[in-house]
Copies of this chain bind each other. A is one copy, B any other.
């Protein structure tokens, strides 16, 4: 490909609101443009990377016996309603009516559709396990489309599904995918950490996320400093060190407290650490009120809360509702609070003589002690883990919080979908049994962005060889006939040897600008033809400083390694 003919050139200036490194570099280097928020154009440079990512994933899927298939994008709404996935996805699911009034979902995921597909062929035990995958567009109307390709409203996804006869057979397909994901990440030049995860809106209770470590990642997970425990922050469980639970329980005491309204100001007022305070938060859950007490230095994990409440439909109360409950913002206390239900995080057990509000402005209680001062509360594990927690698995190490971007996600559903959709297979005895199912997803544009996040320097992208848009970037440095003839010859010879070349043949552009463009675009090998080097060609790896002079034969040999 001649750079002069390439549709989509590099630029130096980009919009100021582009903050993520991968977004900046892919935009500058001419790989992507935005049509509207969350919907992107991809140039040929970008397509070449995506195509190579798809090939790597496709190969690894084939290696574990998965068959590539195709499914429609629009699904009858009824398919989603059967498992209430339309409610679970809520407003992020786009729906459309056709001219006949039939309602369709614009596919956000394909579990139900794929289950229908498998049903069409009435499988028997001989056909199992069935493992299929596809590369298809997914549509999710995210509240905010963020970070370029990281959170898109439509994107290409590799989604695989396995259907098995029993748990043993299922788990083999699950771990095959798990191991394939590690191999895929490695081949793509992505460093990942698999972590235990929550399945979220997709259903199921066993799940792993493959986390790519990045400084500006939107996800967080924890690892243990001692053992191999790793889980995403929403799923993670940890042990809190005891604070002062051996202290003697003092009598409850009402005190005046002309203090600020948040925990930090309250701690400053009393000159105590945050953990000495009791944080009480009220949620409205489908018309009922729930108060949650937690240690003042911790946050509530809303995913865990959703599991306890068995719904994601909860919110903080409106001012009138707070009033009705007989309390005051900033001074909420479980003592004499008129809520329907109390939940106490187990962290509260680690502290004695806590300070809490008193449901009156500028009044607090000292020496709150559980369970002495609160009956009928349910003890729960609802805290978001942080660096304060110890590992629950080995009971020794400390949990360490890390920022990351989710690269892939694997789900075990058991019969969640097959039960709702009547998806059976015939077993050896001729009986109809429910299929056991799992699903396995990788976002393709996001994978491209993660590669860039993890492989760049101040001058631009550094593509791993496996996914680089071209094998080499060839630069003709001078505009003399001799130099042009030589570089044209090199260009043709490389192409003849099936080497993908991006040939910067522009005549009006300086050598410096060509080098800067090459560094920005990030092809792993740069070849320079110049008068000075004569018949030789200058070879430079994108990630190294040194150059070497080689003849054409040596160049071709080195590229074919």
Shortest A29–chain B CB gap in Å is 13
Contact yes or no, B47 A69, CB < 8 A = yes
User: How far is it, in angstroms, between the C-alpha of A39 and the C-alpha of B105 when the chains are bound?
Assistant: 13
A244 within 8 A of B: no
Residue of B nearest to A506 (CB): B126
Contact yes or no, A6 B67, CB < 8 A = yes
A87 within 8 A of B: no
Residue from B91, B132, B139 within 8 A of A74 (CB atoms): B139
Contact yes or no, A71 B106, CB < 8 A = no
Contact yes or no, B71 A41, CB < 8 A = yes
User: How far is it, in angstroms, between the C-alpha of A130 and the C-alpha of B51 when the chains are bound?
Assistant: 21
Shortest A422–chain B CB gap in Å is 16
Knowing A7-B67, A67-B7, A76-B36, the reply to whether A41 touches B98 (Cβ < 8 A) is no
User: How far is it, in angstroms, between the C-alpha of A214 and the C-alpha of B68 when the chains are bound?
Assistant: 30
A73 within 8 A of B: yes
User: How far is it, in angstroms, between the C-alpha of A6 and the C-alpha of B120 when the chains are bound?
Assistant: 14
**Per-residue interface assignment for chain A, residues 1 to 29, with 1 indicating a CB less than 8 Å from any chain B CB and 0 otherwise:** 10011111100000000000000000000
Contact yes or no, B127 A41, CB < 8 A = no
A65 within 8 A of B: yes
The A74-124 residues at the B interface (CB cut-off 8 A) are 74-76, 91-92, 94-96, 98-99, 102, 106, 113, 116-118, 120-121
Residues of B near A453 (CB, < 8 A) are none
Residue from B50, B99, B113, B137 within 8 A of A35 (CB atoms): B113
Residues of B near A39 (CB, < 8 A) are 72, 74
Shortest A435–chain B CB gap in Å is 13
User: How far is it, in angstroms, between the C-alpha of A71 and the C-alpha of B47 when the chains are bound?
Assistant: 10
Contact yes or no, B40 A69, CB < 8 A = no
A350 within 8 A of B: no
Shortest A84–chain B CB gap in Å is 19
Contact yes or no, B99 A91, CB < 8 A = yes
User: How far is it, in angstroms, between the C-alpha of A69 and the C-alpha of B48 when the chains are bound?
Assistant: 9
Residues of B near A316 (CB, < 8 A) are none
A531 within 8 A of B: no
User: How far is it, in angstroms, between the C-alpha of A99 and the C-alpha of B153 when the chains are bound?
Assistant: 12
Copies in the complex: 2
Residue of B nearest to A156 (CB): B70
Residues of B near A50 (CB, < 8 A) are 70
**Per-residue interface assignment for chain A, residues 130 to 161, with 1 indicating a CB less than 8 Å from any chain B CB and 0 otherwise:** 10100001010101000000000110100000
User: How far is it, in angstroms, between the C-alpha of A341 and the C-alpha of B460 when the chains are bound?
Assistant: 68
**Per-residue interface assignment for chain A, residues 40 to 54, with 1 indicating a CB less than 8 Å from any chain B CB and 0 otherwise:** 111110110011000
Contact yes or no, B72 A41, CB < 8 A = yes
Residues of B near A44 (CB, < 8 A) are 67-69, 132
Shortest A9–chain B CB gap in Å is 7
A536 within 8 A of B: no
Contact yes or no, B41 A120, CB < 8 A = yes
Residue of B nearest to A68 (CB): B47
Contact yes or no, B7 A130, CB < 8 A = yes
Residue from B65, B106, B120 within 8 A of A106 (CB atoms): B106
Residues of B near A40 (CB, < 8 A) are 72
User: How far is it, in angstroms, between the C-alpha of A74 and the C-alpha of B102 when the chains are bound?
Assistant: 20
Residue of B nearest to A50 (CB): B70
User: How far is it, in angstroms, between the C-alpha of A99 and the C-alpha of B92 when the chains are bound?
Assistant: 8
Residue of B nearest to A79 (CB): B35
Residues of B near A47 (CB, < 8 A) are 68-70
Knowing A70-B47, A71-B35, A154-B73, the reply to whether A7 touches B42 (Cβ < 8 A) is no
Knowing A7-B127, A47-B68, the reply to whether A137 touches B73 (Cβ < 8 A) is yes
Residue of B nearest to A124 (CB): B9
Shortest A448–chain B CB gap in Å is 11
Interface centre among A75, A92, A94, A98 (most CB of B within 10 A): A98
Residue of B nearest to A33 (CB): B120
Residues of B near A33 (CB, < 8 A) are 117, 120-121
Inter-chain pairs besides A39-B72, A41-B72, A73-B73, 12 sampled, C-beta below 8 Å: A7-B69, A7-B118, A7-B121, A8-B121, A9-B127, A33-B120, A42-B70, A43-B69, A44-B67, A44-B68, A73-B154, A99-B143
